[in-house]
A and B are shown apart, each in its own frame.
Chain A
Amino acid sequence: MKIFQPKNLQYLLIAVFAFFFLESCKPKGAQSAAGGDASKAYVAPGKYDEFYNFVSGGFSGQMSVYGLPSGRLLRVIPVFSTDPEKGWGFSEETKPMLNTSHGFVPWDDAHHPEMSQTNGEVDGRWVFINGNNTPRIARIDLKTFRTAEILEIPNSAGNHSSAFVTQNTEYVVAGTRFSIPLDNMNGDVPIDSYKQNFKGTVSFIKVDSTDGNMKIAFQIRTPGVNFDLSHAGKGNSHGWFFFSCYNSEQANTLLEVNASQRDKDFIMAVNWKKAEEYLKAGKGTKQSVRYAHNKYSDINHSATSTIETEVTVLDAKELAEMVYLIPCPKSPHGCDVDPTGEYIVGSGKLAALMPVYSFTKLQKAIADKAFDGDYEGIPVIKYEAALHGEVQKPGLGPLHTEFDGNGNAYTSMFVSSEIVKWNVKSLQVLDRVPTYYSIGHLCVPGGDSRKPFGKYVIAYNKITKDRYLPTGPELTQSAQLYDISGDKMKLILDFPTIGEPHYAQAAPAELINKNSVKFFKIEESQHPYVAKGEGQANIIREGNKVHIKMTSIRSHFNPDNIEGIKVGDEVYFHVTNLEQDWDVPHGFSIKGANNAELLIMPGETQTLKWLPEKAGMFPFYCTDFCSALHQEMQGYIRVSPSGSSVPLSFGTGRKPTPSAAKEP
């Protein structure tokens, strides 16, 4: 058979052309576009990063801390979810932190961290973060990098538009993603009675300026819609808060269609200074509700959970000049205020443009009563009257916007998977850069404050597909770091994240690291079962409750031999770490315990509850490699049958001797 017939050659040529044609038609792949400039993300071993990056863990319920620009994971702070590694939600001291009006809830979905601010600038004291599913707000103390407080939000479901703060951290806010019959109403109603029975609320939570303690100051009752995101006014617009809302259609089923019908939903503008006046004038209604308020003390090394029973509600419909609605195209998501406080960016996630509102024009529209009717009794401002202008064709699926302090905005585009840089005043698109893939939130250090540090923008991506080695069906989510110091955004680093990253905050390290606690001073401990020295180690039996005051120091426990425990006892190991040096935690674990370990920081006391279920010998040991003799740091507990006459005795380095404390 002859291959090189003229006819065959023709086909071959067509095939070759087709091949090249197809090749050139393929989109320019990730590889070619994402060259990266690794040297800019390089932080030499042993050197500190320039920024801390606090990244929400999404459905992990936690918050992670990264260093930037290296992308090194520094710590995962347990917030709303239990963490057996750290004993969070397992030790007696931390269990109350996860208490709610529904009882102990071991998980949540944490979306939006927000750092405390002073004069609109990040001050490095606390990070607030929302619990979405069982509505809560947590406050993380940046001295210890631990969750110090969790406040449940009543009259709420799906606390999504949270936890954003006002410019002096006067308030942190919460809002309802799900409108529901409020807590004092009968919830046992037909679901399709949404329009009559379902209401929304936004909550203003007062933050104590010295200790950060949270207290719900008031809630504003609104029509039943879905609140999505929010941001505080600042500078001139200080005193106002802006919430995006969708489902103004008030659909209760198949929202993806039914809540996408109207051409415009709203940005809700709340004059909270006005609300304060109404509150002071006694215009609020006290409502009987139940919500948990949990606080952790670094003196007692323990948490307390209190059920609060009252909240004051202000009705947006009845109290004039407090709440206004600004039309915003197609189901707005992000609601972001520029560093000057003048411009408010709404991101209609289904819209082909982005409206930018002017606070000055909004004030004028209110003064001129430039209204377009009302929505359930709340005035709707004329769209054009509040509008500074529209960013035309920014990209597809605009979600969130951060700012660089030079008059530029950076908006994430979920559908077209890119970051778009544009000028806030001129509304001109300046640059665009792809993300891999499907960016959700983004973050510029200080990028939602009055003083951004516009050196980087970080993209938080929902999909990674081919970016990393595959790990079965479930792949990591990711962050991508872009250098924005020049005119063009440049990708310099990819790094995987924990859980699903939503919003994140970043701040210069020097604002935070100088305040970091190295250990707890043992002489200051007021834990009820602290042993401030080996001489205070003891065992106290109260009926079937046995309290073991145990000490740990390199490299032994005291006591490490315990006898006289019986089946049916409720044993509490109160383990005090006697070390007074940096980075010397001790762990504690016991065979067969239906519980986690303890990880005890120097100067701290933590308690593990153990219910021995059968007679036998139970070893325990230190789980944190503490010293050269860590592997020797162990002990035994003898468990005897119930009713046994083995006396309670204990010791270290000697034969166990009877307990010093008298058995009652």
Chain B
Amino acid sequence: MNKHLSIPSRILVAFASGALIAVFLLPAWRIDLFAPQYPEGLSMYIWINKLSGDIDIINGLNHYIGMKHISMEMFPEFKYMSYVVLFFMLLGMTAAITGKRKILLAYIIATIIGGLLVLYDLYRWGYDYGHNLDSKAAIQVPGLSYQPPVIGHKRLLNFDAYSFPDAAGWIVIGAGSLCIIVWLVEWYINRKNKTK
């Protein structure tokens, strides 16, 4: 069995891991809120190291329901996520340079685990924001929480909330998918060669 990747595969893996640089230039995730009074929508962009968009306006509205003030200092993730991405880029590059299928497999598994952890982290923060409300909040609806969706759409009082990957997020998903496809193709070709 050939334990090395073909040259085109290695170029694709190198390209995919290089593409991760996008997360330093573009937001990874976005949450959009629409209400009758906000037909143009309010948007919050989540980057790997910061937040941007209509944070102040969202905070201003959230105070009615007693949600915590969203501020960048509260998220330790912003401090270390850049290093995590750098690690992934290095791992991908290593797979491309050495051409070892096992490293590529490790890279893919790490990417899937990392992605799931990110989603879990989003869920955890959303849960915290949606449930730990100020007991003195002006608007209190018994039994109602304001946890935003991890992905997809949810109705929160007068707001329609949408949570989806943004440009960099899609690039990461695309890059990960590309690596998986490369690995599957390599696996398939190898199996055919083996059966011959």
Q: Which residues of A contact B (CB under 8 A)?
A: 553-555, 579-581, 627-629, 632
Contact = CB atoms under 8 A, between A and B. Distances in A.
A579 B139 contact: no
B138 A554 contact: no
18 contacts: A553-B60, A554-B60, A554-B63, A555-B138, A579-B60, A580-B56, A580-B57, A581-B54, A581-B56, A581-B57, A581-B60, A627-B64, A628-B64, A628-B138, A628-B139, A629-B64, A629-B138, A632-B138
A554 B139 CA distance: 14
Secondary structure class of chain A's binding surface, majority of residues: loop
Secondary structure class of chain B's binding surface, majority of residues: loop
Contacts of B63: 554
Residue from B56, B60, B64, B139 whose CB has the most chain A CB atoms within 10 Å? B60
A115 B76 CA distance: 55
Contacts of A632: 138
Interface in B99-156: 138-139
A580 B59 CA distance: 12
A554 B37 CA distance: 15
Contacts of B54: 581
A632 B54 CA distance: 25
Q: Give me the 9 closest cross-chain CB pairs, A-B, nearest first.
A: A581-B57, A629-B138, A580-B56, A554-B60, A628-B64, A629-B64, A553-B60, A581-B60, A580-B57
Contacts of A554: 60, 63
Interface string B37-78: 000000000000000001011001001100000000000000
Nearest to B57: A581
B159 to A, nearest CB: 13
Contacts of A628: 64, 138-139
A579 B64 CA distance: 15
Contacts of B57: 580-581
B63 to A, nearest CB: 8
A628 B60 CA distance: 12
A48 to B, nearest CB: 13
Contacts of B138: 555, 628-629, 632
A581 B64 CA distance: 16
Contacts of B56: 580-581
Contacts of B139: 628
Interface residues of B, number: 8
A66 B133 CA distance: 46
Contacts of A555: 138
Nearest to A578: B60
Given A579-B60, A628-B138, A629-B64, 9 more contacts: A553-B60, A554-B60, A580-B56, A580-B57, A581-B56, A581-B60, A627-B64, A629-B138, A632-B138
Interface in B178-195: none
Nearest to A629: B138
A381 to B, nearest CB: 59
Nearest to A579: B60
A627 B35 CA distance: 14
A553 B61 CA distance: 11
A156 B148 CA distance: 66
A628 B139 CA distance: 9
Contacts of A579: 60
Contacts of B60: 553-554, 579, 581
A513 to B, nearest CB: 14
B54 to A, nearest CB: 8
Nearest to A580: B56
A581 B63 CA distance: 15
A555 B137 CA distance: 12
A512 B164 CA distance: 35
A624 to B, nearest CB: 14
A626 to B, nearest CB: 11
A554 B138 CA distance: 12
A580 B42 CA distance: 13
Nearest to A581: B57
A629 B140 CA distance: 13
A627 to B, nearest CB: 8
B23 to A, nearest CB: 28
A463 to B, nearest CB: 42
B115 to A, nearest CB: 34
Contacts of A629: 64, 138
Nearest to B37: A583
Nearest to A46: B39
B64 to A, nearest CB: 7
Residue from A554, A555, A581, A632 whose CB has the most chain B CB atoms within 10 Å? A581
Nearest to B158: A628
A273 B139 CA distance: 68
A629 B66 CA distance: 14
A296 to B, nearest CB: 27
A600 B42 CA distance: 23
Nearest to B136: A653
B141 to A, nearest CB: 13
Contacts of A581: 54, 56-57, 60
Nearest to B54: A581
A284 to B, nearest CB: 54
A581 to B, nearest CB: 5
Nearest to B60: A554
A579 B54 CA distance: 12
A580 B58 CA distance: 11
B60 to A, nearest CB: 6
